[in-house]
């Protein structure tokens, strides 16, 4: 069987060489995500370095955290679009 190989896209290549230190597993991330997002949105407490590093490198957890941020924003009466911009800034800060 011959599989056709596609060259890596720039984004994929970047994700592979991304510095994911300090390391956090998806399970660890999942355990922290509720509290971390809530503290960011409600307490204005920034994400921890491992949490941010994981979100930058893991699109699954990033999407999870973003949708949680959207829900929390609704609950807290915050404007959703603005909250997500704030969230993205907190991840890349
Ligand atoms: Zn993850």
Of 48, 40, 22, 51, nearest to 85 (Cα)? 40
- The predicted pLDDT at position 17 comes to 59
Q: What is the mean pLDDT of residues 62-89?
A: 93
Q: For the whole model, what pTM was predicted?
A: 0.74
**pLDDT for residue 71 is more than 70:** yes
**pLDDT for residue 7 is more than 70:** yes
**Three-state DSSP class for residue 16:** helix
Q: How far is the CA of 8 from the centre of ligand 1 (A)?
A: 21
Q: How far is the CA of 16 from the centre of ligand 1 (A)?
A: 14
d(CA 66, CA 47): 13
**Three-state DSSP class for residue 60:** helix
């Amino acid at each position: 069987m011959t599989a056709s190989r596609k060259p890596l896209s720039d984004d994929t290549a970047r994700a592979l060489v991304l510095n994911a230190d300090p390391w956090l597993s998806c399970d660890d991330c999942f355990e922290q995500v509720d509290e971390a997002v809530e503290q960011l949105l409600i307490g204005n407490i920034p994400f921890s370095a491992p949490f941010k590093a994981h979100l930058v490198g893991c699109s699954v957890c990033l999407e999870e955290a973003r949708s949680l941020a959207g829900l929390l924003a609704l609950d807290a009466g915050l404007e959703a679009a603005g909250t997500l911009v704030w969230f993205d800034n907190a991840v890349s800060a």
